[in-house]
Amino acid sequence: MTGVVIFLCAAAVAPLLFIFGNLVAKGASSIDWSFFVKNPVPAGQNGGGVAHAIVGTGIVVGLACAIGLPIGVGAGIFLAEYGSGKLGWTVRFLADVLNGTPSIVVGIFAWTWLVKPAGHFSALAGGAALAVLMIPMLARTTEEMVRLVPNSLREAALALGYPRWRTSLRVIVRTALGGIVTGALVAIARAAGETAPLLFTALGNLNFSTNIFQPMQTLSLQIFVYATGPFEEWHRLAWASALVLMGMVLILSIAARWVTRQRHGAR
């Protein structure tokens, strides 16, 4: 029995190790300083980097956070503190449906509502599409975390003469903050790796750009373009980009773990 469990555990972990090992094997050799700071060179030539995609990922994910964090966390607090009625039930149901919506569908909608009316692809539309994916995750994890705060603390604050909203912010959210930050980091990690919704929105860009109203490259789009391209040099860079993206997600996951540990360790 123990043997079976060990085998199943190994089977669960094996794909991750295999992927990471493969990425390191194929991508690590291409990663040097210029990979991070240089922009791509014309197709067919050797060298160049993905600075534009790294910066682009930062900007697009940053936009997604700027739009998604206030809405998602705010909705989560609302659901936990005031969400017992019909409105709460509706919001919760919609969030769950949205959470299960394939990301490519979100991309098509972002294209229909943001890209088409504006007449061109843009990083902002990409950020908005990612925000739509982040909001339900953020709302539900925030709700869970706020609900974990014992009701006795809520009552204690109210008995001190705190108004309801102030109780929510000063006592409840502050107590749940570690969990909310963890949830946010997980949502950001997930958004950073999304490709499908960005194909219709941020589109990609072979040049360095920080204009959020214009198309922008991200690491995920870079991998898509380079991996499906005809050049050996591009494949090499795709592997390296994948390794960098994986590294970023890993760092966010570790940060999320660390925040959780801090919260429980503080006691």
Partner 1 sequence: MAPDNSLVRLETKRLTALFGRTAAVHEASVFFPTNTVTAIIGPSGCGKSTFLRCLNRMHELSEGGWVTGSVLLDGEDIYDSAVNPVVIRRQIGMVFQRPTPFPTMTIYENVAAGLRVNGRLPRADVDMAVERALRQAALWDEVKDRLQGSAVDLSGGQQQRLCIARAVAPRPEVLLLDEPTASLDPAGTLRIEELCIELKQRYTIVIVTHNMQQAARVSDYTAFFYMGKLVEVNRTTSLFTRPKQPQTEAYITGRFG
> Taking CB under 8 A as the rule, does residue 265 contact partner 1?
no
Nearer to partner 1, 106 or 173 (CB): 173
Nearer to partner 1, 175 or 253 (CB): 175
Distances (CA, A) of 263 to 98, 138, 146, 188: 30, 19, 14, 20
- Asked whether the beta carbons of 141 and 75 are under 8 A apart, the reply is no
Residue from the set 106, 157, 199, 216 that interacts with partner 1 by CB under 8 A: 157
Region binding partner 1 by CB under 8 A among candidate stretches 131-139, 148-156, 196-204, 237-245: 148-156
Subset of residues 166 to 225 that bind partner 1, contact rule: CB under 8 A: 166, 171, 174-175, 177
Distances (CA, A) of 206 to 56, 81, 149, 155, 248: 11, 46, 48, 56, 21
Smallest gap from Cβ 148 to partner 1, in A, equals 12
- Token digits of residue 131: 């925000």
Residue from the set 3, 119, 152, 264 that interacts with partner 1 by CB under 8 A: 152
Region binding partner 1 by CB under 8 A among candidate stretches 61-69, 160-168, 206-214, 232-240: 160-168
Q: In sequence order, what are the beta bridge partners of 216? A: 203
Nearer to partner 1, 120 or 164 (CB): 164
Nearer to partner 1, 46 or 152 (CB): 152
- Token digits of residue 210: 């920080």
> Taking CB under 8 A as the rule, does residue 260 contact partner 1?
no
Amino acid at 148: L
Nearer to partner 1, 103 or 175 (CB): 175
- Token digits of residue 264: 């429980």
Nearer to partner 1, 171 or 196 (CB): 171
Cβ-based neighbours of 192, under 8 Å, separated by 6 or more: 57, 61, 219, 220, 245, 248, 249, 252
Residue from the set 144, 162, 206, 247 that interacts with partner 1 by CB under 8 A: 162
Nearer to partner 1, 5 or 159 (CB): 159
Q: Which of 61, 193, 194 is nearest to 124 (CA)?
A: 61
Smallest gap from Cβ 142 to partner 1, in A, equals 16
> Taking CB under 8 A as the rule, does residue 163 contact partner 1?
yes
Residue from the set 3, 44, 100, 267 that interacts with partner 1 by CB under 8 A: 267
Q: Where are the beta strands (DSSP E) in 39-165?
A: none
- Asked whether the beta carbons of 96 and 140 are under 8 A apart, the reply is yes
Subset of residues 13 to 72 that bind partner 1, contact rule: CB under 8 A: none
51-82 helix and 123-148 helix, angle to the nearest 10 degrees: 40
Q: Which of 73, 29, 53, 69 is nearest to 209 (CA)?
A: 53
> Taking CB under 8 A as the rule, does residue 160 contact partner 1?
yes
> Taking CB under 8 A as the rule, does residue 159 contact partner 1?
yes
Q: How far apart are CA 124 and CA 208, in angstroms?
A: 16
- Chain residues in the site for partner 1 (CB under 8 A): 150, 152-153, 155-163, 166, 171, 174-175, 177, 266-267
